[in-house]
Structure 1
Amino acid sequence: MADSSNIETPQADAPATGLKGFVARLGPGLITGAADDDPSGIGTHSQVGAQFGYGLAWTFVLTFPLMVAIQQVAAEIGRVTGAGIARNLRRHYPRPVLWTMVSLLLIANIINLGADLSAMGAALQLLTGGNAGLYTLLFGIVCVVLEVVMSYPRYASVLKWTTLSLFTYVAVVMVAGVPWGHALRSLVVPEIQWNAAYATAFVAILGTTISPYLFFWQAGQEVEEEHRRHVKPLCITPREAGPEIARIRMDTLTGMAFSTIVSLAIVFATAATLHAHGIRDITTSSQAAEALRPIAGQFAFLMFALGIIGTGLLAVPVLAGSAAYAVTEMLGVPGSLDARPLDARIFYATIAVTTLAGSSLNAVGIDPVRALYWAAVVNGVLAVPLMVMMMLIVRNRRAMGRLTLPIGSTVLGWSATFVMAAATVIFFGFAL
């Protein structure tokens, strides 16, 4: 998204071509897009499909370019400046702004972690029986251990391949009996309902699509990739910007397209099964999986439940990792998934504390599903000002050097910010 049309690039070895080369260039954008379809997001999309059928499918066409635009902004902040979003806020803007945003991020992430881990525990209970609360805690411990003991290159590779779990929802939609003519038409012909439930569902889709933790994660991952490849930030080496910005665009576009396709698959599958059979009230992803079994069969049930666990194993580290990046950048201390635990104690402590705090919500009597409402409130409060600050950073020459965002991309970024602001106003308008 940075304007690199007139920037010279040095000669380098020819990159791998074909499918192998394409897959090799995927990374932070793909993982970020896949993590967007976390278990709580699956629950939201299941509810949308069950309650409104295909009536809100058009919103994914609207949100796709917006999420691409704002995630590219986050990625370029990391790659160009060599620092994450919180560190850039610390460098260029008042400290109270930084502390407020990081505090809100921590609250929202812990609640989302609780909802995701609970959904994973409930899904495993559906498959095997047993105690869902125990499974929830065990999933939290496993995720923490993996983030602490695995090296960054190996862990990033694991996350990358975990995205394949999302194909389970493509498999589900293929056996759900979707009326494809109606479904595809709904992408371009809105079926708008003028009521509070429809407006709230629209806001919920935006809230699960454009989420603050994804901004911090993708920017932080670009910084990690710089360290792994032993390259300097693009603000120092602007001649290398051409291929790097192209890689970010391709990676982010692919990741967000993948996320959108999977989200639509969930909406289509639940619309063709649950909505078509009069089941309209689904509040969790595990409820959606259970409701699918008598309608779409055992295969659809198994794929849906396994997908919840697979996407959770991807999303939980992203939620906890984004919190760790934000906290260490706010404090100005080292923090990296490639660092040894004793060299980045605050970073790994944040991962452990946020993950285990989320997994404990049920144990202390807090319903994670109900808590998601408050997570949506916090995300709504945080997303818009954070997006505003990101747009200011990416146009700030002190931060970005010669690689400030060009006008066309700036318009898209501000459009995403405006739409999210309007959605937040709508949310509070119906909530109050």
Structure 2
Amino acid sequence: MFAAIDSKATVAAMRDSLDHPQRGARGLLAFAGPAVIASVAYMDPGNFATNIQAGSTYGYQLLWVVLLASLVSMLFQAMSAKLGIVTGRSLAELCRDEFPRPVVIAMWLGSEVAAMATDLAEFMGGALGISLLFHIALGWALMITGIVTYAILSLDQAGFRPLEIVIGALVAVIGLSYLAEMIITPPDWHAALFHSVVPELHGKDALMLAVGIVGATIMPHSIYLHSGLTQNRAPARNDEQRLRLVRFSNREVMLALGVAGLVNMAMVAMAASAFSRSAPGITDITVAYHTLTPVLGAGAALLFLISLLASGISSSVVGTMAGQNIMQGFVGFHIPMLARRLITMVPAVLVCLTANPMSAMIDSQIVLSIVLPVPLIALVVLSSRRSIMGRFAAGRKLTCMAVLATAAIIGLNLALLWQALA
């Protein structure tokens, strides 16, 4: 029990499990954490915005995009974690060492833009949740969100475990809220299953939403962060232990991101069931909340706000952690967490007070999708180099899968650009 909340005890439990292999859930539990934190990026308010608009506008038609993006995210998060486990270094650090300096600087600047776009949706979502839940002005809600986020980040001073537990609890709140929503408003299961496996893109905005879903699901900052989260835990002493750590990591990625994928699909299904007929084409989270009350009752609307609040706070914490990891990896210096929080928070505050929050969230996810190929290409290149990964270098099949997935994302971005210019 103590090991579950104490970082030193957790490291000791991991060390013991590596030195004396254990089977079953007990052996896996001590290693849980990095993928849970990474999974928050796949349930952030940007997902709420894109999934609600997708479900309310196109019903269940874009579920296949959510499912495919979730599977691709599992692939790349597993690769990122493996890179960190094998090398003991983060993706950003390896990019700094392996690529030419002009490329590294360009990657860092692009990653900072992505961090700000990420924080825009996350910070805005948390503030909207507080504003609607407690009936206070958005300006005060923004301030409260910043304070709560910084308070949770401060838990890191006591080690990694307390922070992981708080993030895990917030993830559980999001998942349980949407489970309850599915009970309150059961989807059309036949339509949901059909559209999960049959690709369709009908309507002029369907491509834009598909790109937004990809950007909201496969997050650049999470790709960078996952490799860094595997550090400062229980480093492997030999290749056998590295292999064991990679297996533990792969199981956690499948479980944590599998749950995140199901939550995203539940968001689209709920929006399709609740809004596609009564309020089609919802483009505002506030409107979605006010529409839920007469359609499904106050209980469903309350659950929606609670999940949005948990999503905004947890993802804002993780976004700040990722921004710190990216800066430290690419340029090699560390700034105080409060300063980092303020740097990425200011653009979000300005947009919150001057623009439509829902539109800004969706636009931010499109920006993320455009930036996304950069860390994916870097991850594929570095993971396949034997000089870096040794015997753990990615094989030909895995590399081909990753290349095809990256090419598909680039293709979606180019198609959206072509549509915008036409």
Match of 2:22 among 4, 10, 15: 15
RMSD of aligned alpha carbons: 2.2
Show the counterpart of 1:280: 280
Q: Is the 8 A contact 1:212 1:379 kept in 2?
A: yes
Show the counterpart of 1:339: none
Deviation at 1:14, TM superposition (A): 4.1
C-alpha change, 1:276 and 1:366, in structure 2 (3 Å) is: closer
Show the counterpart of 1:380: 369
Deviation at 1:173, TM superposition (A): 1.5
Letter in 2 for 1:88: L
Q: Deviations over 1:269-289 (max 9, x none)?
A: 110111032x12322434322
Q: Deviations over 1:233-260 (max 9, x none)?
A: xxx7323222111111111111221111
C-alpha change, 1:370 and 1:266, in structure 2 (3 Å) is: closer
Matches within 5 A, 1:246-325: 246-277=247-278, 279-325=279-325
Name stretches of at least 5 consecutive residues in structure 2 with no aligned partner: 1-16
1:425 equivalenced with 2:414 (yes/no)? yes
Deviation at 1:45, TM superposition (A): 0.4
Match of 1:142 among 126, 144, 148: 148
Letter in 2 for 1:261: L
Structure with greater helix percent: 2
Q: Is the 8 A contact 1:391 1:414 kept in 2?
A: yes
Q: Deviations over 1:60-104 (max 9, x none)?
A: 332232111111111111111111111101111012222212212
Q: Deviations over 1:275-305 (max 9, x none)?
A: 032x123224343222211101111101011
Q: Deviations over 1:181-213 (max 9, x none)?
A: 2222222234x2443211112111111111201
Show the counterpart of 1:353: 342
C-alpha change, 1:323 and 1:270, in structure 2 (3 Å) is: same
Deviation at 1:120, TM superposition (A): 1.9
Deviation at 1:162, TM superposition (A): 1.8
CA distance in 1, matches of 2:201, 2:192: 17
Task: Give the secondary-structure state (helix, strand or coil) at the position aligned to 2:392.
Answer: coil
Is the deviation greater in 373-382 or in 248-257? Answer: 373-382
CA distance in 2, matches of 1:104, 1:252: 26
CA distance in 1, matches of 2:162, 2:18: 29
C-alpha change, 1:369 and 1:12, in structure 2 (3 Å) is: same
Show the counterpart of 1:365: 354
Deviation at 1:406, TM superposition (A): 1.7
Is the deviation greater in 318-327 or in 353-362? Answer: 353-362
1:176 equivalenced with 2:165 (yes/no)? no
C-alpha change, 1:398 and 1:197, in structure 2 (3 Å) is: same
Q: Deviations over 1:293-319 (max 9, x none)?
A: 110111110101100001112111111
Show the counterpart of 1:53: 59
Q: How many residues align?
A: 402
Q: Is the 8 A contact 1:328 1:347 kept in 2?
A: no
Show the counterpart of 1:153: 161
Matches within 5 A, 1:96-245: 96-150=102-156, 151=158, 152-166=160-174, 167-190=176-199, 192-223=200-231, 227-229=232-234, 231-232=235-236, 237-245=238-246
CA distance in 1, matches of 2:244, 2:18: 11
**% identical aligned pairs:** 21
Deviation at 1:417, TM superposition (A): 0.7
Q: Is the 8 A contact 1:169 1:266 kept in 2?
A: yes
C-alpha change, 1:71 and 1:128, in structure 2 (3 Å) is: same
Deviation at 1:402, TM superposition (A): 2.4
C-alpha change, 1:49 and 1:366, in structure 2 (3 Å) is: closer
Task: Give the secondary-structure state (helix, strand or coil) at the position aligned to 1:276.
Answer: coil
Name stretches of at least 5 consecutive residues in structure 1 with no aligned partner: 1-9, 334-343
CA distance in 2, matches of 1:373, 1:57: 17
C-alpha change, 1:16 and 1:134, in structure 2 (3 Å) is: farther
